[in-house]
Amino acid sequence: MRILRTMLPYGVIALLVSIWQLAILLNSSTLLPTPWAVAKGIAELARNGLLVKYVVASLFRVSWGYVLAVLTAIPLGLFLGWYSRGEKALNPLLQILRPISPLAWIPISILWFGVGDMAAVFLIYLASFLPLTVTAITSVKNIDMVHINAGRNFGLSQRQLVLRVLYPAVMPQLIVGLRIALGVAWLVVVAAEMIAVNSGLGFLIVDARNAGNRYDLVVAGMVLIGVTGLLLDIAMRKLEGLKALRWGYGSI
């Protein structure tokens, strides 16, 4: 049974690929490439040195924008969640900015930073910053007051209360927020690369479409985006298995 559970995802993927191939054969379509054509397109990218180049370019932009957002949004969110007056002051601004799509900032990012990496990094930063800030605020507010009162009864200082009670209590929720924000950042970098830069997986899709309707490379880019996103999500899910965080998931 364990082997069947392990092989089930691969079986579903094989089934979908088979349906894809069968649909093209029955429809005699020349626009949508076959799975084999997509595989050859990925191999072509690897031979030309573009596969690693474009994946690394996208990961580079995501890494910078995402890490900068983590370093600024989480401390800000924890501060606002801990001090209610700060949250009341800034919450209206956060709620106004949060529904605005990061892609709506593309014209402004190009105006400020030009066409290049900085424009994409800025968009990724915006896409990650607001969700992480709200997650951090919520995670602080969800702390059981019993834990805080117990720390105070034991004579913990404000600094000790933050380090020994606040951070351990919010980490399980923050990990979930970090995982979601990383997925959003990966979506945004692909969209930004279609407009604001001349490399990366998003650029690959647009360039392949414009350079002779290479739909095999278009779909190859889509596959690479999905696989890379899956690997990033798996890496983030590993954090949920840390011994220091298991208690938080066990109580849900």
Query: What pLDDT is recorded for position 68?
Result: 94
Determine, yes or no, domain membership for 5: no
Determine, yes or no, domain membership for 19: no
Query: What pLDDT is recorded for position 32?
Result: 78
Domain count, the chain: 1
Query: What pLDDT is recorded for position 48?
Result: 87
| pLDDT of the chain, 252 residues: tens digit per residue | 667 667 777 777 888 888 877 877 777 666 778 888 888 888 988 988 888 888 998 999 999 999 999 999 998 988 888 787 877 788 888 888 888 888 888 888 888 888 778 888 899 999 999 889 988 888 888 877 777 767 777 677 767 777 777 777 788 888 888 888 998 899 888 888 887 677 888 888 888 878 767 888 888 889 999 899 889 888 888 876 666 555 554 444
Cβ atoms within 10 Å of 87's Cβ, excluding its own: 17
Query: What pLDDT is recorded for position 66?
Result: 93
Determine, yes or no, domain membership for 2: no
Determine, yes or no, domain membership for 12: no
Determine, yes or no, domain membership for 130: yes
Query: What pLDDT is recorded for position 64?
Result: 92
Query: What pLDDT is recorded for position 250?
Result: 47
Task: Tell me which residue range forms the domain holding 192.
Answer: 36-250
Query: What pLDDT is recorded for position 29?
Result: 62
Burial 113-138 (b: 16+ CB within 10 A, else e): beeebbbbbbbbbbbbbbbbbbbbbe
Which CATH number characterizes residue 53's domain?
1.10.3720.10
Determine, yes or no, domain membership for 203: yes
Determine, yes or no, domain membership for 17: no
Please state, in angstroms and as integers, the Cα–Cα distance from residue 117 to each residue in 62, 138, 214, following that order. Answer: 10, 32, 25
Determine, yes or no, domain membership for 8: no
